[in-house]
Amino acid sequence: MSARSQVPFSAPERVILGIETSCDETAAAVLVEGQLRAHVVSSQLDHRAYGGVVPELASRAHERRIVPVVQNALEQAGLAPVDLTAIAVTYGPGLIGSLMVGVNFAKGMASALGIPLVGVHHLEGHIYAIFLEPDPPPFPFLCLTVSGGHTVLVRVEAPLRHRVLGQTRDDAAGEAFDKVAKLLGLEYPGGPALERLAARGDRGFVPLPRPRLGGSLDYSFSGLKTSVLYYLKRLPEEERMRLLEAHRADIAASFQEAVIAALLDPLLRAAEQTGDRHIVLSGGVAANQALRRRLEAVCAERGWSLHVPRPSFCTDNAAMIAMAGYFRLRAGHRSPLSLAPQATVSL
């Protein structure tokens, strides 16, 4: 099914404003007849000094940025607010104070313009990001979403019909990258820095455990992070510093290797069980080239096709929210103006 079939002139999915404020990116995008016309992301760098996202700072920054970010997206699209036919907004999961800014703004704008509002689950956004690309997979497909907040394996059976096959029981993969990066003395968010370091390291240097969760398709990363912690902390400070100086890249490469193996194992077993031949990788960690290359090789061997959104659609953005909203609006979904943000909500 094409996401870009002809849209009737009066249909609410014709000109969608997407809004995303679930974590530390304030983002807005405009989708016209299923085609992306504008895409603005304002990333909050203020959290770096604290080594992680500070919820209170995040909501205040969203509050300051939401109006200029939306205005900027409308300008890029060459449109005025009255041209909009619907608004799609992330209602959860995420930081409650951050979500409130986007949801309240979207409700105010939708009610002032008298147009429909549709609430979008953040993970649904990550799944439908692939429909922003020119060659999306047919249904059904398997989607592995790996980000700082989530690690979830979903079978997308038909538009808006999803079955969660597995998810993390503790840390998300991105969170594990960030925590281990911190142990290695890298700046937050450490995922990209850890990958750069790992590129020149020996991935067999530290023997790290592979999580085993029986026959389940769930994930676990906290044991892996703890193993790196014990590996470093078993040494007195001076020796630890010497080890880090000589082998920081090798430790990074060993950890990255263990994460890749842990991510691929349930995905491959799921594909074997379901017989699905189209795989989607999404979320911030999908930017990791080593993970992409490994999954590409595995898919090529088995004759499966791999679909990965471009990096700017993998990390948090509003284009993916607008696209998920497009599918929802087209299926007749509307949210009431009493729509409430939810910090935790399952897919």
Task: List the one residue out of 284, 309, 279 whose CA is nearest residue 294.
Answer: 279
The item of ligand KG4, Zn ion, none sharing an interface with residue 119, based on CB under 5 to 8 Å by kind, is none
CA angle at 260 for the pair 160 and 165, rounded to the nearest 5°:
30
CA distance 242 to 334: 59
Task: List the one residue out of 207, 194, 206, 210 whose CA is nearest residue 266.
Answer: 210
**In the complex with Zn ion, which residue's Cβ is closer, 41 or 110?**
41
Residues of this chain that bind Zn ion (CB under 5 A): 147, 316
CB of 273 to ligand KG4, least distance (A): 27
Q: Is 90 in the site for ligand KG4 (CB under 6 A)?
A: no
The item of ligand KG4, Zn ion, none sharing an interface with residue 93, based on CB under 5 to 8 Å by kind, is none
Render 14-52 in DSSP notation, one character per residue.
Answer: SEEEEEE-SSSEEEEEEEETTEEEEEEEEE--TTGGGTS
Segment interacting with ligand KG4 (CB under 6 A) among 27-35, 110-118, 143-151, 225-233: 143-151
CB of 33 to ligand KG4, least distance (A): 27
**12, 85 contact by CB (below 8 A):** yes
For the segment 267-326, give every residue that binds ligand KG4 (CB under 6 A): 283-285, 287-288, 315-316
Binding mask 103-142 for ligand KG4 (x = CB under 6 A): ----------------------------------------
Segment interacting with ligand KG4 (CB under 6 A) among 1-9, 103-111, 185-193, 225-233: 185-193
CA distance 62 to 64: 5
Query: Among residues 18, 191, 201, 266, which is the contact residue for ligand KG4, using CB under 6 A?
Result: 191
For 215, counting Cβ atoms within 10 Å of its Cβ (0-12 exposed, 13-18 middle, 19+ buried), the class is exposed
CB of 159 to ligand KG4, least distance (A): 22
Binding mask 159-178 for ligand KG4 (x = CB under 6 A): ---------------xx-xx
Structure tokens at 244: 């880090």
Across 240-259, b (16+ Cβ under 10 Å) vs e yields eeeeeeebbbbbbbbbbbbb
The item of ligand KG4, Zn ion, none sharing an interface with residue 287, based on CB under 5 to 8 Å by kind, is ligand KG4
Segment interacting with ligand KG4 (CB under 6 A) among 144-152, 207-215, 235-243, 329-337: 144-152
Question: Closest CB to ligand KG4 belongs to which residue?
Answer: 284
CA distance 116 to 240: 58
The item of ligand KG4, Zn ion, none sharing an interface with residue 24, based on CB under 5 to 8 Å by kind, is none
**44, 101 contact by CB (below 8 A):** no
Q: Give the C-alpha distances (Å, rounded to integers) separating 329 from 113, 132, 207.
A: 17, 16, 49
Largest CA distance in the chain: 70
Binding mask 17-56 for ligand KG4 (x = CB under 6 A): ------x---------------------------------
Helix H or strand E encompassing 221:
none
Q: Classify strands 305-307 and 161-167 as parallel, antiparallel or unpaired.
A: unpaired
Q: Classify strands 117-121 and 86-92 as parallel, antiparallel or unpaired.
A: parallel
Render 299-325 in DSSP notation, one character per residue.
Answer: HHHHT-EEE---HHHHSS-SHHHHHHH
Query: Among residues 12, 92, 136, 148, which is the contact residue for ligand KG4, using CB under 6 A?
Result: 148
For the segment 194-253, give every residue that binds ligand KG4 (CB under 6 A): 195
CB of 289 to ligand KG4, least distance (A): 7
**In the complex with ligand KG4, which residue's Cβ is closer, 263 or 279?**
263
Number of residues in contact with ligand KG4 under rule CB under 6 A: 20
Which parts of this chain interact with ligand KG4 (CB under 6 A)?
Answer: 23, 147-149, 174-175, 177-178, 189-192, 195, 283-285, 287-288, 315-316
